[in-house]
Structure 1
Amino acid sequence: MEIYQHFREEERPFIDQVLSWQSDVEMRFERKESDFLNPREQQIVRAIMGNDPNLKWELYGGPNDPERKRAIIAPEYEEIADQDFSVVLLEATYPGKFVALEHRDVLGAFMSLGIRREKLGDLIVQDGVIQIVVASEISDYIRMNFTGVKKANVTFQEKPLPSLMKSKEVWQTKDSTLSSLRLDVLVKEIYGVSRKKAGMYVEAGHVKVNFKTVENPSFLLETGDLLSVRGKGRSRLDQINGMTKKEKYRVTTSKLN
């Protein structure tokens, strides 16, 4: 199928999933809502759905254009509104003067409950407040069972979605010239380590691309790919801006500070 050639081999199962949603909605005339999708998965949904005249589709995960969003696919005669999405904002406070919490601490505590990452939207930890956007079907379970992070006791309460805070995290952008789009080359450039050390990080399973561990240093990156290196934060390949006369890649990358 033509759509496959635009994406990686390992992305075929998700492509098939989206095609299945599309087919089910067309045959049954019933809308379908996905779990939370990462940006790469959202890109695949956009590519497949395109301007399908028989269906409507929207992405939403809360206000402020969040990173993770759910998709709704519906028959073309239906309207899709933000309130149709099964998303809930939960909030808890913690004593910030006595306990230092980071995004990864809260995410780790969440995952320890045995809930799939796909049920969690954006997560913000700042100024003594934890906010998580979750699938509404697990909201009650989280409020009953998510009671602590590190040494902090927390009690989550449901809040109106417009109460979602804007993250204070800042993406710092940089233009670079690279010999290739290999993963080890990008890690070297973005995180300021040697090519050898970058390769070691990858081979040790410390690097994720689009939230999946990649252990091949020669893995080729594409526009929009999200990277994370354990203990060093997240980054992104924003744009590939063509080639130099010496056949090197001009790229724009961002790192989360």
Structure 2
Amino acid sequence: MDNLYQHFRKEEQPFIDQALEWKSIITEQYRPKLTDFLDPRERDILSAVIGGTGEIQVEFFGGFEESERKRALLYPEYYRPEQEDFQLQAFEVIYPEKFTSIGHRQLLGSLMGLGLKREKFGDLLISGETVQFICAKEISNYVHMQFTQVGKTKVTVKEISLGCIQSPDKHVERKDEIVSSLRLDVVCSAMIRQSRQKSQALIKSGAVKVNWRTLEDPSFTLEENDYLSVRGYGRYQLTSIEGKTKKDKWKLSIEKQL
């Protein structure tokens, strides 16, 4: 157990405990277990907890192949999962697109205003005037009835099949950086091309997330494959730490999602 914990950060231990609990359900009850939506970091942790023994399997699905947020289905080796096992429902938002527009933050804020957990919602998809989202099927009736407004705009939602999802085109910009340390404020400064003081202010104001968690500690140490999102500047991934230069600085490879 301790050996597993040492591969992850301290703040990730509660999720590791949750994953171990899910694993025990499969072992003891020999039945499938469906989780809420997980972000990529949580899926990495869950995959590590499950391991490669073969006695317990795990699959992820979020409605379409490139989805960022996916539900996990853990199951014993005898079980053959189907897409329906993931219990997903897609919706399209109907609104007066000639007179207004809906952004990602507006949509998320209004969905959270329904009093439901973020973990019950998958990807929020905005492509031009088309606004769609995916949620857990167990809340779909409630969402259908209660989701009537985004900001000040009156809306309705209609159920659509997963095949009607318009997945966004994803493009990345790759770049190499040399930084003095792996502190959050230092790497953030290099990513957004702003001063270290600016990045510190953004972090302390709660505008920076690491692996989908808001962090307000500028001295937090980043690791390879960490995701950063900076409000107003976009999302980045620290894809590789290449080592140190002769001047004892860190060489990094970074991707920005466009």
TM-score clears 0.5: yes
The equivalences for 1:143-162 within 5 A come to 143-162=144-163
Gaps of 5+ in 2: none
| Stretch of structure 1 that moved more, 5-14 or 196-205 | 196-205
Residue 234 (structure 1) aligned with residue 229 (structure 2)? no
> SS at 2:206's partner residue?
coil
| Stretch of structure 1 that moved more, 8-17 or 198-207 | 198-207
Measured in 2, the distance between the counterparts of 1:9 and 1:65 equals 29
Residue 163 (structure 1) aligned with residue 185 (structure 2)? no
Q: Find the counterpart in structure 2 of residue 123 from structure 1.
A: 124
TM-score normalised by length of structure 2 = 0.94
Deviant stretches of 4+, over 6 Å: none
| Stretch of structure 1 that moved more, 90-99 or 43-52 | 90-99
Q: Find the counterpart in structure 2 of residue 76 from structure 1.
A: 77
Compute the displacement of 1:144 (Å): 0.7
In the comparison of the two structures, how many residue pairs are matched? 257
Gaps of 5+ in 1: none
Q: Find the counterpart in structure 2 of residue 62 from structure 1.
A: 63
Compute the displacement of 1:53 (Å): 2.3
Compute the displacement of 1:93 (Å): 3.0
The equivalences for 1:103-142 within 5 A come to 103-142=104-143
The equivalences for 1:164-203 within 5 A come to 164-203=165-204
Q: Find the counterpart in structure 2 of residue 36 from structure 1.
A: 37
Measured in 1, the distance between the counterparts of 2:98 and 2:191 equals 32
Q: CA RMSD in A?
A: 1.5
Q: Find the counterpart in structure 2 of residue 248 from structure 1.
A: 249
Q: Alignment identity in percent?
A: 43
> SS at 1:80's partner residue?
coil
Compute the displacement of 1:169 (Å): 4.9
Does structure 2 conserve the Cα–Cα contact (< 8 Å) formed by 1:209 and 1:225? yes
Q: Find the counterpart in structure 2 of residue 207 from structure 1.
A: 208
Q: Residue deviations 1:16-52, cap 9 Å, x none? A: 1001111111011111111100111011011111212
TM-score normalised by length of structure 1 = 0.94
Does structure 1 conserve the Cα–Cα contact (< 8 Å) formed by 2:127 and 2:166? no
| Stretch of structure 1 that moved more, 9-18 or 192-201 | 192-201
Q: Residue deviations 1:83-124, cap 9 Å, x none? A: 211111111233333212211110111111111110110111
Paired letter, 1:241: E
Paired letter, 2:57: K
| Stretch of structure 1 that moved more, 240-249 or 77-86 | 240-249
Q: Residue deviations 1:44-70, cap 9 Å, x none? A: 011111212211211111113211111
Measured in 2, the distance between the counterparts of 1:21 and 1:166 equals 30
